[in-house]
Homo-oligomer: A and B are copies of this chain.
């Protein structure tokens, strides 16, 4: 087995851990990671459009529609067709949505951060530089990072 194969397996483990975290979040708070992310967008910008969300969180419009369908059917957000431009749909949190969002836990990989922060400075640097190196070798450093995998980090990201 080549080392790069093993690397792929490790990556799969990481991906899986993040996914499982999202599912766990759904159990405890009633919102998955992506749902939480989109609701945070709506909360931040009342009346935001779906396409704007798609841009902000780097998802396809179809995916945003998909997730909006789900949270709208649970009365967490409302869609309002704009009268100015009838193509547009403005989004608003319902009271129920606001309440749920308030109570939702931080979807961060708290466990990871805890462990990582406990490492010595040089160890942190080593892991970081390793990851950055892998990203660079995949030319991934040219891509936008998908924010969906880790909601917390995004909410802390600089606003434009």
Most B C-beta atoms less than 10 A away, residue of A125, A135, A146, A149:
A135
Known contacts A131-B130, A133-B127; A140/B8 CB under 8 A:
no
Of B11, B13, B146, B147, which one neighbours A143 at CB under 8 angstroms?
A: B13
- In chain A, positions 131-160 with a C-beta closer than 8 Å to chain B are 131-135, 137-147, 149-150, 153, 156
Contact digits for A35-51, partner B, Cβ 8 Å, 1 yes 0 no: 00100000010000000
Q: How far is the CB of A110 from chain B (nearest CB, A)?
A: 9
- Docked pose: A147 CA to B5 CA in angstroms: 12
Q: Are A12 and B116 in contact (CB under 8 A)?
A: no
Count the copies.
2
Nearest B residue to A150, CB-CB: B8
Q: Are A12 and B112 in contact (CB under 8 A)?
A: no
B-contacting 9-mer, from A53-61, A64-72, A73-81, A89-97: A53-61
Of B8, B20, B153, which one neighbours A9 at CB under 8 angstroms?
A: B153
Q: How far is the CB of A92 from chain B (nearest CB, A)?
A: 20
Most B C-beta atoms less than 10 A away, residue of A12, A15, A113:
A12
